[in-house]
Amino acid sequence: MAEILAIGEAMEQALALLEGGDVVAIPTETVYGLAGDATNGVAVARIFEVKGRPRFNPLIAHVANRAMADRIAGFDPLSAKLAEAFWPGPLTLVLPQRAGNGIHPLVTAGLDTIALRMPRGFGGELIGRLGRPLAAPSANSSGRISGTTAQAVAADLGDRIRLVVDGGPTPIGLESTILKVENGKLRLLRPGGIGAEEIEAVAGAKLSRGAGGIEAPGMLASHYAPGAAMRLNVGKIAEGEALLAFGRNRAEGWERAVALRNLSERGDLREAASNLFAYMQALDRVGAATIAVEPIPVGGLGEAINDRLARAAAPRDKQAWAP
Ligand code: TXA
Ligand code: MG
């Protein structure tokens, strides 16, 4: 069972676990977060595994200060103004990523944008001490409501994690508001801890909620899709195909593949998850018309891996994100 430690006593142990690539449940002003080093793919894969999420949706990267945020993403003037007004606090901004920022692609599900937030209190201090951003979705198993007390988090995830940092009940109790500036216009991607009026007062402009009304939490208009076609569960490689492999046994004709990446030689799904986006992108860059993918087992993280591959393989007009 997870140990529950008060914020005053938890810092060193939380740091040690994060340094070791493990995950830790931490309090924030909104809800408890299940945090892992955003630069460590295996740590990020663990987050999905612990939550039992059936798909890889992009996570929020939490930063300690504006300098750390600036190393990760580019700020347009309006986003900078909102960060100035509401950080640290329950505001998440979706921004274009900077190349080479060290963020693992599993955090952003391969997107070239990233959701950033600067939390108040323990979380901010922890990130400052670690010196690296933390990826952190709400600390609850998939399909359950977000944990707002350490006890609720421990009851839900305690058999799968080592440490819950207890900061008492979270003051806001619902997730952060997510905003994105698109062509100079401010879009509300998820309502949350800061009301629209408060944001509009700072921005000096109305929020847009998208063509089809408010997007449901967790919905995304688009996601990473390779330019190449994807062929899944292949037993035999065709001429000119690139191969995304898994495990020790190769599909027939693998020597023909114009490029090959193995998600996990030893058949480890956590390792495979951490390599998934980077390898899809790498094979896509080779320029093959088709990426053939060997079968991936469906258990554990395999469900999310297969879900993502199926989305990448779907006809382009059917790729809109559906929850
Ligand atoms: O209050 C919160 O925001 C909590 C605490 C722990 O900080 N975190 C949280 O994370 O709610 P999560 O992973 O449950 O929600 C992240 C949301 C998802 O709805 C996801 O679709 C959206 O952020 N998101 C992440 N990256 C995005 C991106 N690049 N573009 C659009 N939406 C994105
Ligand atoms: Mg959640």
pLDDT tens-digit readout, 12-66: 999 999 999 999 999 999 999 999 999 999 999 999 999 998 889 999 999 999 9
**Which atom of ligand 1 is the closest one to the Cα of 178?**
23
Residue nearest (by alpha carbon) to ligand 1 atom 13: 137
Q: Is residue 115 within 6 Å of ligand 1 at its C-beta? A: yes
Q: What is the pLDDT of residue 214?
A: 34
Specify the pTM: 0.88
- 146 Cα–ligand 2 center, Å: 6
Q: Is residue 170 within 6 Å of ligand 1 at its C-beta? A: no
Residue nearest (by alpha carbon) to ligand 1 atom 3: 176
| Cα–Cα–Cα angle for 62, 65, 71, rounded to 5 degrees | 80
- 8 Cα–ligand 2 center, Å: 26
The side-by-side arrangement of strands in the sheet containing 177-182 is 3-6, 163-166, 24-26, 33-37, 134-135, 60-62, 113-117, 91-96, 177-182, 185-190
Pocket test for ligand 1, best of 47, 153, 178 (most atoms within 8 A of CB): 178
What six digits make up the tokens of 223? 């996601």
Q: In 10 A of CB 34, how many CB atoms?
A: 28
Instruction: Please report, to the nearest 10 degrees, the dihedral formed by the alpha carbons of residues 191, 310, 256, 276 taken in order.
Output: 40
Q: Is residue 41 within 6 Å of ligand 1 at its C-beta? A: no
- 253 Cα–ligand 2 center, Å: 43
- 289 Cα–ligand 2 center, Å: 37
Q: Is residue 172 within 6 Å of ligand 1 at its C-beta? A: no
Residue nearest (by alpha carbon) to ligand 1 atom 10: 137
What six digits make up the tokens of 316? 């382009």
Q: In 10 A of CB 102, how many CB atoms?
A: 12
Q: What is the pLDDT of residue 311?
A: 85
Residue type, 193: G
What six digits make up the tokens of 47? 């987050």
Measured CA to CA in angstroms, residue 68 lies from 42, 79, 84, 102, 116 at distances of 22, 15, 14, 12, 10
Pocket test for ligand 1, best of 28, 50, 51, 59 (most atoms within 8 A of CB): 59
Where does the chain have alpha helices with state H?
Answer: 7-19, 41-51, 66-72, 77-86, 122-130, 150-157, 196-203, 269-286, 302-313
Q: Among residues 121, 126, 119, 117, which one has the least CA distance to residue 167?
A: 121
Handedness of CA 272, 276, 279, 284 (dihedral sign): positive
- In sequence order, the 6+-apart residues with CB closer than 8 A to the CB of 271 are 42, 45, 263, 264
Pocket test for ligand 1, best of 51, 92, 142 (most atoms within 8 A of CB): 92
With a cut of 70, which residues of the chain have pLDDT below it? 210-224, 315-323
